[in-house]
Amino acid sequence: MPALGFKKHLAPLVESRVKRQTIRQVWRNPIKAGDTLYLYTGLRTKQCRKLGESICTSVREIQIQPPGGLIVGEGIYLYGKGKLSLSESLELAAKDGFKNIHDFISFFRDQYGLPFEGVLIEWE
């Protein structure tokens, strides 16, 4: 039963099904395509609220490299696709609920540090 928690400001996007993806660190028991996802805001709080349920359609590895990245160069790398173009990176950031690529990169730098390696989880 994979439960995914979302920050309060993203809850309306998830609930309205505008946001149908998330990028997360790799879990000990990874989410797989076909899993039912339980979507919440305020997990582990009194304000916990279920936003919906959906079926996972895809889980792909993702890397976010800082400028001057030592592993493969700066940019966003998606398993099976390689380095994303600027337009693909902007589209990914928008689908994930960010206004621009700067906010997207800054979030991952501040939250996890760069380079970031995780998974892109998509659902119906």
> Are 20 and 122 spatial neighbours (Cβ–Cβ below 8 Å)?
yes
User: Which one, of 97, 94, 75, lies nearest residue 13 by Cα?
Assistant: 97
Structural domain for 83, as ranges: 3-123
pLDDT digits (tens, 9 = 90+) for 15-51: 999 999 999 999 999 999 999 999 999 999 999 999 9
| Structural domain total, the chain | 1
Q: Which residues of the chain form beta strands (DSSP E)?
A: 3-6, 21-24, 36-41, 49-65, 75-78, 82-83, 116-123
Residue type, 9: H
CATH number at residue 95: 2.30.130
> Are 119 and 60 spatial neighbours (Cβ–Cβ below 8 Å)?
yes
Q: What is the dihedral of CA 85, 78, 39, 113, to 10 degrees?
A: -90
pLDDT digits (tens, 9 = 90+) for 68-112: 655 555 689 998 889 999 999 999 999 999 999 999 999 999 999
Q: What is the dihedral of CA 42, 45, 46, 50, to 10 degrees?
A: 40
Element (H, E) at 103: helix 101-112
